A and B are shown apart, each in its own frame.
Chain A
Amino acid sequence: MSNATPLLDVSGLTKHFPIKGGFPIPRTVGAVRAVDGLDFQVGEGESLGLVGESGCGKSTTGRLITRLLEPTGGKVAYRGQDITHAGRKQLAPIRSEIQMIFQDPYASLNPRQTVGKIISGPMEINGINPAGGREKRVRELLEIVGLNPEHYNRFPHEFSGGQRQRIGVARALSLEPKLIVADEPVSALDVSIQAQVVNLLQKVQQDLGIAFVFIAHDLAVVRHFSQRVAVMYLGKIMEIADRDDLYGNPRHPYTRALLSAVPEATVDDTPRERIRLVGDVPSPINPPSGCRFRTRCWKATEKCATEVPPLVQVEGNRPGHLTACHYPETPETVPGPRLAKNPEAAA
């Protein structure tokens, strides 16, 4: 990943939403620091998972990459080209290469348009005329996402939630993107349908070589889908690593706590590690000084309040595994499938 120019290179990315107030002259009295200095790369065809709890800034990050939001600071480069503040014209060719899939399959499709119209919309806007015509292409796309091409003239309300999300995927694919930002694409769906959509996205990623930024709060789904995973907390990346390193050898206390809190549908005789964080996530308006996680961390010291821990490869991490913590957890000697769990029971 480090050898060539990455597909997407994000550095120091920041988004502060100003809070207006003041009297008699309105002014900015504060800011919601939704995203506060992110660095990460996404390679060609790679899938990066962004996980974290509500308010960690993962959705905002998705919107910044796709430039649905204007970054406050930092840099977003696509194929080496700086698009942080690119205007409409400059963005036009790139917009077709970066597509987005949204969470709510009910709200993100125009109820008055047919499926054919919805999926061909991006092609029309970008003036793309595929060989054989747009309708043929739409039918192909419907087939790719597992819908009946004959349903070209139906309206979104005639489809179930899972099928609507497939329509959303088809729309995103219509411009043959190189990067798809998927914001909680399966969290509104029933469990049995979630798996269908995850499989579809995985197939699309592998067959078409599309890179993904996969935003979700479900750690198991992210693990299944992403080759690299970044854990966010209050607008910052706490830890980023290859999947196996992150899940098998989490070094940040927050990652560890997060993993231990996921309820798993297994009844084991060996109890899992159990870390219970106290309290809730603090407000991003007034995030804690130093390390943002320190108010809920059982290891926090004076140093954590004063010094922001850098996101670095701490001792015991493999290359590419970065952790932002002054007191990282002891590395797992055997990079096992799960922490403090009998590997036998997992099989």
Chain B
Amino acid sequence: MLRFLVRRVFGAMVILLIISAVTFWLFYAVPRDPAMMSCGKNCTPENLEQIRKNLGIDESIIMQYWHWLAGIFTGRDYGGYGYCDAPCLGYSFANNEPVFGTIMNRMPLTLSLAFGSAAFFLVIGVGAGMLAALKQGKFLDKFASSVSLLGSSLQIYFVGYIAMFFLVSQLGIFSQPSYTPLTENPAAWVSGLLLPWLVLSIIFTANYTRMTRSQMVEQLSEDYVRTARAKGLSRANVFFRFAWRGAMGPIVTLFGIDLGTLIGGAIITESVFSLQGVGRLAVQAVDQSDLPMQLGVTVLAAGAIVFFNIVVDAVYALIDPRIRLA
């Protein structure tokens, strides 16, 4: 297991290095001069040169990337702009803040959104899928299948606005979504995020229902499930301890991918509900041509996906002893 972790973390670093290098090169190859934007209207060539030097963009792109990398471990001084502590993912000139700090400020909301909705779609989705598998071919199964088909064809920008319009503006069942840190006021945390959670989970639940159903149906027809029944074990025991164990793998994989994606920022959801998470930050960075911020968010989002991939593989090995990690 340790060997596996060391290997995978090493691999993850290589992936992140490649992603950041490619992103870096792409962004800085764009014909836009951040110094020019920072310099303002009354810009003299001397001023511009000074700003370039302060920003460190007077060097070759390779040296710039090297400084950016080094900054992650040592921190970095941006001349007149200030000091950026390690881990420094760059400095946002549009916001006049270090990139890493800004992202971290937004992170609690994004994490709340991701894990909160994940709890909903996992419980509801998997539960409905199991029920459907149990009542194969019966009304409940057909109902769950139809609902999940409907759910999976919905889009957040559609459901989100409809929910906002009816549930918030018209009927007033929910208050305007907002974020209060969990540590400050748990009740406000829940009530502020409940609507985004529900809307976000509608989209995801359907996938889990269908995946769980098909996996369970497949597992229930496996020979080892029949053997378990032939041993005299009860239906419930066989259902949960044998079939569900076998069905879990692909669901965990799906969950890992979804969670990684959500932490990279639920761009549409945050925009629809006017929540200031990482997703909104990314959108703003694009609007403002804030290249360091874009780079930072990209690398962090990639990092989240890579991280959950490793977690998924590790969990997979715990579920299925046939998989040997190495």
Contact = CB atoms under 8 A, between A and B. Distances in A.
A21 B326 CA distance: 9
A24 B326 CA distance: 11
A24 B3 CA distance: 11
Interface in A15-38: 21, 23-24
Nearest to B4: A23
Interface residues of A, number: 3
Contacts, number: 6
B245 interface: no
Contacts of B139: none
Contacts of A21: 326
A interface SS class:
loop
A21 B4 CA distance: 12
B158 interface: no
Nearest to A21: B326
A23 B326 CA distance: 9
Contacts of A24: 7, 10
Nearest to B326: A21
A23 B2 CA distance: 13
A92 to B, nearest CB: 42
A273 to B, nearest CB: 36
Contacts of B326: 21, 23
Contacts of A23: 3, 7, 326
Contacts of B7: 23-24
A23 B8 CA distance: 11
A21 B324 CA distance: 13
A99 B258 CA distance: 49
Interface string A3-23: 000000000000000000101
Contacts of B10: 24
Nearest to B7: A23
A235 B10 CA distance: 39
B323 to A, nearest CB: 15
A23 B7 CA distance: 8
Contacts of B3: 23
Nearest to A23: B7
Which 6 A-B pairs rank lowest in CB-CB distance, beginning with the nearest?
A23-B7, A24-B10, A21-B326, A23-B3, A24-B7, A23-B326
6 contacts: A21-B326, A23-B3, A23-B7, A23-B326, A24-B7, A24-B10
